[in-house]
């Protein structure tokens, strides 16, 4: 390779096209020498050219840099970093490791990549090592696309796995695109028909798919390697730059369908694992900057994540990395929002202690580039910090774990749940009311990727994770599930009917609650994982969506679709103005009842409640009758007191389809003053002729 080398600049970090060449800049605190290695191909054993970054011209403080003429987009490269190898001091430089560029915008993953060898030079040199690739991020035609900035009050989230959505042979996606970004594009009409307004994609940052015990794959993707590059295995295009275009094609297509893209991001740990793990880049550059180290033995890593290391998120270098990564995804991939895995880790300082005003969280909360994006926190971590309702910041939404737990226990029939579940139903004012936040601050969910699917929640009392190879020790033992009388698959019609009723109850409570609802992929189709509540390593039909379920459970799909359609009507939970939770509750005129109007039963042994609420613009009134008891209950209906209207039955989860839910204008009028609600059933009534005729 004939190149000309000049000093270059420390900014910007990474590889940036500049004139007739590329500027390379790398931060490393621990290095004594740095070599920039160029490869002719991703699986080459040896570099075609090595450029030593020597002297003051190529080093400014802790930044090593060079401008190289004659290279451009598509160039494969990596770094060798020499320096002290003193793990007991937290120093882990190793010139035998080919390190990735932490700010690399593209990557090459050779077919021979093996985690156990990773980036270390072997007898085959670096043939199996992942390598960074120069990318021209301006070389894409967005055709006028931009982020959607859909208000949270108009959002219904669908959590999904890119591969799992179309990998199954029943998906109908061409084999070459099954399980890919392109394959997902093929299924966008399904999401539109269901009524989804935002997809939340499980991790799509390049991750180590081999980081799982027992030789099983890492399917979920919570083992990040790069914070700037879309995952290669989800692309149907083989070249590193094609991955970028295919992912951008997906974002653009979803935006055209009116669907936002939210990424599940992992900034709490990396795939470099513990002291025995590989060095992809971070630990070989500035180990003590990037990670929390055990103060008693700096060769070891603090583990607040359950993944054997913890990023030092409030170190200035890591703070900048996180902020720059998110800006990159917004500016160059038009991402609409981010859900932060184990976000409470980001609230810990460099000693691992939680702090009241974590710098990184306020950085993101106030960043102007991120101003229009959704920021969603999983407000807990694996070391016991639980911040649901107390997560810092002015505009963060939170995965409401208490919504999940309280709804599950109520539906299961546990005592002492009525007062809790009624709070969840109206936006959790007991959690969020004091912060004067909108109801949408609560991301409501009953299931997600982590735990039972909705079908398994009503089919299993205990987890069945034997296939994970950990003797069923992995995954949570606290699932608040109930098998409805038989463990696992059953042909008992009584059991099956009860399970169907319980799923409808859960979906109705989720989609009628104040807050931002989130569905888990396939719950609307009765998708089961055979009782596996921790399918992180099941890259097979256990986790994939079987599209034949759409025919088998068309009634459940229709039930979900009708609920979403109702929710998205103007004047239901949607308004042109951003209402605080207190405003919403006041405007909706909520009244609580028991089996008799105005007499709610808040006792611990109560399993039922009723409420009436008036729509924001006073166009209709909703009455909800909920019976989680195992006997029928007769509810005396509250007076309509709404013009000359009568109650109309919209939902009764005990009725067979299609009467379990009907289009609102077709809801039959009730003549009686009482309604018998079957055991473990939910009934929704609507009154108001004007509201009915216009919906």
Q: Sort residue 27 into left (φ over 0), alpha (ψ -120 to 50) or beta.
A: beta
Q: Are 456 and 441 in contact (CB under 8 A)?
A: no
Q: State whether CATH 2.40.50.100 applies to domain 4-133.
A: no
Number of helices (H) and strands (E), helices first, in the chain?
A: 16, 27
Tokens coding 33: 């020498």
- The pLDDT of residue 112 is 81
Separation of alpha carbons 29 and 27, rounded Å? 7
Between the CA of residue 308 and those of 204, 255, 267, 274, 383, what are the distances in Å?
21, 37, 14, 5, 12
Q: In what side-by-side order are the strands of the sheet with 591-593?
A: 591-593, 608-614, 621-627, 681-687, 648-652
Candidate list 264, 378, 450, 523, residue with the active-site label: 378
Separation of alpha carbons 72 and 94, rounded Å? 28
Q: What is the DSSP letter of 182?
A: H
Candidate list 341, 398, 450, 660, residue with the active-site label: 341
**3-class secondary-structure state, position 170:** helix
Break the chain into its structural domains and give their ranges: 4-133, 157-274+335-567, 588-693
Separation of alpha carbons 106 and 128, rounded Å? 17
- The pLDDT of residue 695 is 57
Beta strand residue intervals within 642-692, DSSP E: 648-652, 674-677, 681-687
H/E stretch holding 426 = none
Separation of alpha carbons 4 and 73, rounded Å? 17
**pTM assigned to the model:** 0.98
Separation of alpha carbons 681 and 654, rounded Å? 6
Check for a shared fold between 4-133 and 588-693.
Answer: yes
Closest CA to 537 of 479, 465, 478, 488: 465
Closest CA to 35 of 3, 81, 67: 81
Separation of alpha carbons 137 and 332, rounded Å? 7
Separation of alpha carbons 221 and 463, rounded Å? 22
Beta strand residue intervals within 532-607, DSSP E: 591-593
How far is residue 210 CA from its own chain's centroid?
Answer: 21
Separation of alpha carbons 624 and 511, rounded Å? 13
Separation of alpha carbons 470 and 587, rounded Å? 52
How far is residue 229 CA from its own chain's centroid?
Answer: 17
Q: Are 125 and 45 in contact (CB under 8 A)?
A: yes
Q: Are 499 and 427 in contact (CB under 8 A)?
A: no
- Residues of the chain predicted below pLDDT 50: none
Separation of alpha carbons 647 and 669, rounded Å? 6
Rg value, the chain, Cα: 27
Closest CA to 5 of 42, 47, 52: 52
Tokens 């002297």, residue located: 55
- The pLDDT of residue 1 is 64
Separation of alpha carbons 141 and 405, rounded Å? 45
- The pLDDT of residue 116 is 84
Q: Is 378 a catalytic residue?
A: yes
Separation of alpha carbons 571 and 622, rounded Å? 12
Look up the CATH architecture of domain 157-274+335-567. Alpha-Beta Barrel (3.20)
Look up the CATH architecture of domain 588-693. Sandwich (2.60)
Q: Is 601 a catalytic residue?
A: no
């Amino acid at each position: 390779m004939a190149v000309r080398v000049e000093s270059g600049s420390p900014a910007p970090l990474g590889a940036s096209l500049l004139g007739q060449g590329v500027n390379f800049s790398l931060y490393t605190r621990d290095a004594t020498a740095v070599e920039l290695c160029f490869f002719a191909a991703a699986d080459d054993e040896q570099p075609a050219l090595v450029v030593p970054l020597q002297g003051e011209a190529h080093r400014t403080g802790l930044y090593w840099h060079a401008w190289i003429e004659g290279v451009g987009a598509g160039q494969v490269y990596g770094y060798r970093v020499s320096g002290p190898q003193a793990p007991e001091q937290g120093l882990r430089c190793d010139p035998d490791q080919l390190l990735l560029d932490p700010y690399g915008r593209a990557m090459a993953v050779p077919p021979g990549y093996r985690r156990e060898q990773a980036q270390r030079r072997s007898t085959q040199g670096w043939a199996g090592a992942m390598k960074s690739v120069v990318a021209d991020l301006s070389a894409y035609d967005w055709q006028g696309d931009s982020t959607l900035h859909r208000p949270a009050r108009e959002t219904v989230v669908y959590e999904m796995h890119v591969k799992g959505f179309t990998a199954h042979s029943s998906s109908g996606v061409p084999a070459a695109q099954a399980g890919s970004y392109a394959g997902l594009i093929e299924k966008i009409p399904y999401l539109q028909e269901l009524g989804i307004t935002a997809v939340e994609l499980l991790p799509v940052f390049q991750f180590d798919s081999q980081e799982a015990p027992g030789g099983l794959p890492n399917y979920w993707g919570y083992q990040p390697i790069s914070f700037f590059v879309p995952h290669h295995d989800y692309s149907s295009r083989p070249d590193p730059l094609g991955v970028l275009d295919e992912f951008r094609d997906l974002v653009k297509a979803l935006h055209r369908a009116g669907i936002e893209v939210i990424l599940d991001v992992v900034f709490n740990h990396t795939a470099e694992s513990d002291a025995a793990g590989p060095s992809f880049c971070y630990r070989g550059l500035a180990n003590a900057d990037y990670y929390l180290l055990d103060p008693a033995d700096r060769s070891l890593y603090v583990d607040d994540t359950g993944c054997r290391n913890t990023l030092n998120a409030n170190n200035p270098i890591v703070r900048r990395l996180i902020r720059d990564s998110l800006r990159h995804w917004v500016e160059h991939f038009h991402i609409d929002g981010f859900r932060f895995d184990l976000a409470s880790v980001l609230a810990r300082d460099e000693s691992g202690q939680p702090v009241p005003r974590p710098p990184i969280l306020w950085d993101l909360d106030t960043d102007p580039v991120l101003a229009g994006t959704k920021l969603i926190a999983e407000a807990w971590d694996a070391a016991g910090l639980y911040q649901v309702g107390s997560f810092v910041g002015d505009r963060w939404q939170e995965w409401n774990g208490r919504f999940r737990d309280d709804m599950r226990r109520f539906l299961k029939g546990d005592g002492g749940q009525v007062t809790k579940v009624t709070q969840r139903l109206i936006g959790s004012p007991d959690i969020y009311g004091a912060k004067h936040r909108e109801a949408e601050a609560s991301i409501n969910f009953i299931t997600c990727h982590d735990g039972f699917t909705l079908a398994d929640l009503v089919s299993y009392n205990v987890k069945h994770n034997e296939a994970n190879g950990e003797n069923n020790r992995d995954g949570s033992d606290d699932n608040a599930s109930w098998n409805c009388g038989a463990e696992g698959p059953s042909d008992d019609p009584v059991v099956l009917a009860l399970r169907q009723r319980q799923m409808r109850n859960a979906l109705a409570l989720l989609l009628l609650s104040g807050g931002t609802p989130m569905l888990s992929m396939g719950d609307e189709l009765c998708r089961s994982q055979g009782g596996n509540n921790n399918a992180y390593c099941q890259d097979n039909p256990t986790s994939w969506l079987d599209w034949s379920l759409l025919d088998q459970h068309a009634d459940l799909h229709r039930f979900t679709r009708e609920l979403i359609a109702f929710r998205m009507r103007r004047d239901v939970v949607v308004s042109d103005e951003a209402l605080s939770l207190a405003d919403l509750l006041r405007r909706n005129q909520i009244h609580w009842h028991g089996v008799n109007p105005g007499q709610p039963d808040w006792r611990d042994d109560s399993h039922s409640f009723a409420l009436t609420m008036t729509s924001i613009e006073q166009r209709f009134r909703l009455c909800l009758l909920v019976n989680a008891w195992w006997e029928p209950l007769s509810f005396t209906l509250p007076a309509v007191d709404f013009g000359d209207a009568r109650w109309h039955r919209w939902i009764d989860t005990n009725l067979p389809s299609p009467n379990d839910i009907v289009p609102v204008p077709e809801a039959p009028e009730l003549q009686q003053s009482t309604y018998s609600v079957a055991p473990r059933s939910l009934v929704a009534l609507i009154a108001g002729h004007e509201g009915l005729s216009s919906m």
